[in-house]
Amino acid sequence: MIIGLQRCGKSCRLRWKNYLRPDIKRGNFSLQEDQTIIQLHALLGNRWSAIAAHLPKRTDNEIKNYWHSRLKKRLALKGYDPVTHRPKTTIFGSPNGSTDDPKTGSNLNHIAQWESARLQAEARYVRDSELYKQAHHLYNNNDISAASSILLGHNKDFGPTDQLFRQNAPQCLDILRAWESIRGGLQQYGV
C-alpha cells in the first residue's frame, strides 16, 4: 500500500517552482504578454527562463507550454516561421526554399543584419543587467554617488536619484525597442 505520492526532492522543488509558489499568476495570457513572448522569443530563442524573467509571475514552464500549444501555431497560421520569426515564403528567397533565386543574396544579407542586431541587443541587455546589479547593490548600501557614477558612466539621461533605478533598470522594453527598430513593430504578426 502506497501512502502519499512518491516524490523526490527534485520533483517537489519543480512543483513548487512551477505550480505551488504563491507569487505565480495563473490564467490566460494577456495580449501584452503574448506580444512580449513573441518578441523575446524572436530575440532569445528557446531560452524560456530568460523570457520568463521579463514576465512577472509567469514561469518558464508555463511560457514554454503556452508557446508550443498556442503562439507557435498562431504564428504559423499568419505565415511566419515560429523558429526564425520570418515569413515562410521569403526566408530563402522563394517558397520552395530554392537557393538559386536572385533575391537570395539580399535576403541572406538581411538575415545577417537582423541576427547581428539581435546579438547586439542581447549583449547590451547582459551588460545593462550587470551594471544595474552593481549599482543597485551600492544604492542599497546608501552609496548613492558610487551607484550614480556607475550608471552615469553608462547613460547620461538620468532623472532624480530617487527615480534612478526605476528609470534605468534593464527591461524587456530595451530589447524590444531594438527589435522593433529592425522589424518595424509587431503589427506584422497581426496579434
Partner DNA sequence: AAACTAGTCAACCGCAAAGGA
Partner DNA sequence: GTCCTTTGCGGTTGACTAGTT
- Helix, strand, coil: what percent of the chain each, to 5? 65, 0, 35
| Pairwise CA distance, residues 183 & 7, whole Å | 46
Residue that the C-alpha cell 509571475 belongs to: 57
Scanning residues 26 to 55, which ones bind DNA (CB under 7 A)? 26, 46-50
The residue within the footprint of DNA, chosen from 21, 68, 127, 177 (CB under 7 A), is 68
The residue within the footprint of DNA, chosen from 21, 25, 57, 70 (CB under 7 A), is 70
Of 24 and 144, which CB lies nearer to DNA in the complex structure? Answer: 24
Pick from 141, 127, 132: which is nearest to 167 by CA? 132
Q: Counting contacts by CB under 7 A, is residue 25 touching DNA? A: no
Rounded to a whole number of angstroms, the minimum distance from the CB of residue 183 to DNA is 22
Of 20 and 98, which CB lies nearer to DNA in the complex structure? Answer: 20
Contacts of 59 (CB under 8 A, 6+ apart): 17, 18, 21, 24, 52
Q: Which stretch binds DNA (CB under 7 A): 5-13, 105-113, 122-130, 131-139?
A: 5-13
Pick from 55, 64, 59, 60: which is nearest to 30 by CA? 55
Torsion of CA 76, 46, 34, 167, to 10 degrees: -140
- Residue 5 backbone zone (phi > 0: left; psi -120 to 50: alpha; other: beta): beta
Q: Counting contacts by CB under 7 A, is residue 172 touching DNA? A: no
Rounded to a whole number of angstroms, the minimum distance from the CB of residue 142 to DNA is 26
The residue within the footprint of DNA, chosen from 38, 43, 62, 75 (CB under 7 A), is 62
Q: Counting contacts by CB under 7 A, is residue 84 touching DNA? A: no
Q: Counting contacts by CB under 7 A, is residue 57 touching DNA? A: no
Of 51 and 164, which CB lies nearer to DNA in the complex structure? Answer: 51
Site residues, DNA (CB under 7 A): 7, 9-11, 13-15, 17-19, 26, 46-50, 60-62, 64-66, 68-70, 73
